[in-house]
A and B are shown apart, each in its own frame.
Chain A
Amino acid sequence: MSVVNAIVQGILLGGLYALFACGLSLMFGVMRIINLAHGDIAVLGAFGVWVVTTQLGISPLVALLIALPVMLALGYGLQVTLLARSLKAGELTPLLTTFGLAIVIQNALLQIFSPDVRSLGAATGRLSIGSWRIADRLAVPYLGILVLVLAVAVLGGLQLMLARTRFGREMRATAQDPDTAGLVGVPAPAVYAQATAIAVGTATLAGVFLGIHASFAPSSGPTQLIFAFEAVVIGGLGSLWGTLVGGIVLGIAQTLGALIDPQYSILAGHIVFLVVLASPRGQLLWRRRAAGSVAA
């Protein structure tokens, strides 16, 4: 029974990982950048919501509504200032710049907020602790379901946006050929900035729910980046729904690993990631998807 419980918890955890991963996947699909600061941006968002929550005494979910537009604007600004220049400079530069950014964000948070671990769970109330008892040793937490539903909604929304809207078409066109997009009137820099804004927005969502589900600290960023990346790779680079699958597989690997020994949980995730990376299937999916399509 505890195996079933572990799997269920893993699926729900996978929803959170998918939420983390979809921004990373989007930025890679559109701009071919792996944003090494993605995890730290999520933590930044969590801290932003924490500040609003503690200052105004409101629920984190409401605080999110205030913080999200700010983060979206931040993402747009980030692209326009830093990342646009990095893109022009060559293949290595975006990696170096986003890594530098990660260091700056992490340490700025450390300086402002101290290394203490914080949680948004208490401020969220019943939602963060309650669960449905389905069977003797199987409890499905409200929060887990909420996050999974949210992840599906966000991914579905992104997919729909990409496939059906003018905004999405422009994004896909720019992803495939930014120069020609310019030749038909689509401003590539603006499209890139919009993609970054969305990525930062989803990262903020993920960071907040991480804070509600567990806890966060200025140093939490890199771990989340790694999980997000693992979810993307396991699910197949460039595919948004693959990101959900990858997140769920990663989540289950971690929860099953924890069953054996709590110390093994994260390691189990790494092992699954490395196995997928090494497998021929992993490589095939890699090359096909990496060739420039934001998943349709």
Chain B
Amino acid sequence: MTTVDTRSVTATGWTVRRSSRASRIGSLALVAIVVVLSSLPQVFGANVVQQMTTLLILVILASMWNALAGYAGLVSVGQQTFIGFGAYGTIFLTQRGVAPYLAVVLAAAASAALAAALSPLVLRLRGGQFAVGTWVVAEAIALLVVLDHGLGGGTGISLRGLNIYSPQVRRAYTFWLALAFAVVLLGLLFLLLRRRTGAALQAIRDDEEAAASLGVRTMSVKFVVFVLSGFGCGAAGALILANTLFIQTQSIFGVQWSAYMIFMVLVGGIGTFEGPIIGAVLFFAIQQQFADSGAWYLIGLGGVAIAFALFLPRGVWGLLGDRRQIRVLPVGYHLHRRPSNPAVTEEA
């Protein structure tokens, strides 16, 4: 916790703090949750572990989409590019003898590289053009993958290398890897938001031209977020493969991933750190309940997403957090009144 030098503001008695009581508690709680989660495979059976891996993947996807849209103002309908690239990259590497879990990590890194390569093309677009542009890129890359028969063409392919582990062990390892990625990605995002880039991002989101005129290096900030998001989505894709062992171009590169991400972030709370996590949990619960309802399920998802976009734009977290200015993690800035009477403390 850092406190800004307050000598210049003693007249009014207000200081600027990065954290509040709530966020201190929240940070500790999150660390505790991670510790508890890591013992999960020892306590629960394979099925639960696999489901929890799915949940972690959803948390990653939601946070990464939110990083782009909620923080940088870039609505992407094409992050499935990286999901698919991460998954097929893993296949590609394992076919060439790389150990599967290492392949997952490398494929995620390769997705980051792909994002970096695509950024000069894609980042000059804004708004709806960026949305559809990213979608076209996803379609194009999916088509390229289909053309490569070594990767199974359009019919799908399995990940073989994991056969050396027993299902129990495999699921545990996959879970831990997913947990590790989630922690790393959320940690990177947290760092990004906490440093000057965080304020820069929100400035860009609110008004890119104004931000640029103030000297915010918009392109490099957007680049960092785009690469991070590519990295995260690539990791998610590779983890999906490790979790389900079989992928198909149509589904792994499908635009429904974007639909899921949009739903999670809109419902959870766009532009907040905690929102996407809540959205992922909610979506996970809904998926467990309704995924068998077929088309109705997706109709419901779409309808709910529209309703949130129009009527509850700040999402569930926004509803809760706005009222009481709660932040679980110390990513924002708080006004804190220095008590003139030491017995009294007020937090804004």
Interface residues of A (CB under 8 A from B): 28, 32-34, 36, 82, 85-86, 89-97, 99-104, 106-108, 110-111, 222, 225-226, 229-230, 233, 237, 263-264, 266-267, 270-271, 273-274, 277-278, 283, 286
Residue on A nearest B293 in the bound complex, by CB: A111
Most buried by B among A89, A94, A101, A226: A226
Known: A85-B310, A99-B259, A274-B121. A36 touches B132 (CB 8 A): yes
Residues on the B chain within 8 Å of A274, using CB = 121, 136-137, 140
Bound-state CA distance A34–B309 (Å) is 16
- Within the complex, the shortest CB–CB distance from B242 to chain A, in Å, comes to 28
Residues on the A chain within 8 Å of B139, using CB = 226, 266, 270
Known: A34-B129, A99-B259, A225-B132. A93 touches B121 (CB 8 A): no
Q: Are A104 and B255 neighbours in the complex by a CB distance under 8 Å?
A: no
Most buried by B among A102, A103, A225: A103
Interface SS, B side: helix
Q: Are B309 and A96 neighbours in the complex by a CB distance under 8 Å?
A: yes
Q: Are B299 and A103 neighbours in the complex by a CB distance under 8 Å?
A: yes
- With beta carbons under 8 angstroms apart, the residue of B73, B121, B294 that contacts A278 is B121
Asked whether any CB of chain A lies closer than 8 Å to the CB of B128, the reply is yes
Stretch among B31-39, B227-235, B300-308 lining the A interface: B300-308
Selected A-B contacts with CB under 8 Å, 9 pairs: A99-B259, A99-B262, A100-B302, A100-B306, A104-B299, A107-B298, A111-B295, A111-B296, A266-B143
Asked whether any CB of chain A lies closer than 8 Å to the CB of B343, the reply is no
Q: Are B75 and A104 neighbours in the complex by a CB distance under 8 Å?
A: no
Residues on the B chain within 8 Å of A97, using CB = 306, 309-310
Q: Are A100 and B133 neighbours in the complex by a CB distance under 8 Å?
A: no
Residues on the B chain within 8 Å of A106, using CB = 298
Residues on the A chain within 8 Å of B147, using CB = 263-264, 267
Q: Are A104 and B296 neighbours in the complex by a CB distance under 8 Å?
A: no
Q: Are B132 and A229 neighbours in the complex by a CB distance under 8 Å?
A: yes
Bound-state CA distance A280–B36 (Å) is 53
Q: How large is the interface on B (under 10, 10 to 19, 20 to 34, 35 or more residues)?
A: 35 or more
Q: Are A82 and B306 neighbours in the complex by a CB distance under 8 Å?
A: yes
Bound-state CA distance A103–B77 (Å) is 12
Residues on the A chain within 8 Å of B120, using CB = 278
Q: Are B259 and A103 neighbours in the complex by a CB distance under 8 Å?
A: yes
- Within the complex, the shortest CB–CB distance from B68 to chain A, in Å, comes to 11
Q: Are A271 and B305 neighbours in the complex by a CB distance under 8 Å?
A: no
Known: A229-B136, A273-B136. A28 touches B128 (CB 8 A): yes
Residues on the B chain within 8 Å of A271, using CB = 140
Q: Mark B108-148, 1 if CB is under 8 A from A, else 0.
A: 00000000000011001101110111011101100110110
Residues on the B chain within 8 Å of A229, using CB = 132, 136
Residues on the B chain within 8 Å of A34, using CB = 127-129, 131-132
- With beta carbons under 8 angstroms apart, the residue of B69, B136, B255 that contacts A270 is B136
Asked whether any CB of chain A lies closer than 8 Å to the CB of B313, the reply is yes
Known: A95-B131, A104-B306, A263-B147. A111 touches B140 (CB 8 A): no
- Within the complex, the shortest CB–CB distance from B255 to chain A, in Å, comes to 6
- Within the complex, the shortest CB–CB distance from B69 to chain A, in Å, comes to 7
Q: Mark B269-313, 1 if CB is under 8 A from A, else 0.
A: 010000000000000000000000011101101110110011001
Q: Are A86 and B132 neighbours in the complex by a CB distance under 8 Å?
A: no
Q: Are A263 and B146 neighbours in the complex by a CB distance under 8 Å?
A: yes
Bound-state CA distance A168–B69 (Å) is 35
Q: Are A100 and B132 neighbours in the complex by a CB distance under 8 Å?
A: no
Bound-state CA distance A237–B128 (Å) is 12
Asked whether any CB of chain A lies closer than 8 Å to the CB of B266, the reply is yes
Q: Are B128 and A33 neighbours in the complex by a CB distance under 8 Å?
A: yes
Bound-state CA distance A274–B258 (Å) is 21
Q: Are B132 and A101 neighbours in the complex by a CB distance under 8 Å?
A: no
- Within the complex, the shortest CB–CB distance from A139 to chain B, in Å, comes to 28
Residue on A nearest B74 in the bound complex, by CB: A92
Interface residues of B in 154-184 (CB under 8 A from A): none
Q: A34-B131, A278-B121 are in contact. List 13 more A-B contacts (CB 8 A).
A: A28-B128, A36-B131, A93-B309, A99-B258, A103-B259, A104-B302, A104-B303, A107-B295, A107-B302, A111-B295, A225-B132, A266-B143, A286-B129
Residues on the B chain within 8 Å of A277, using CB = 121, 125, 133
Q: Are A226 and B136 neighbours in the complex by a CB distance under 8 Å?
A: yes
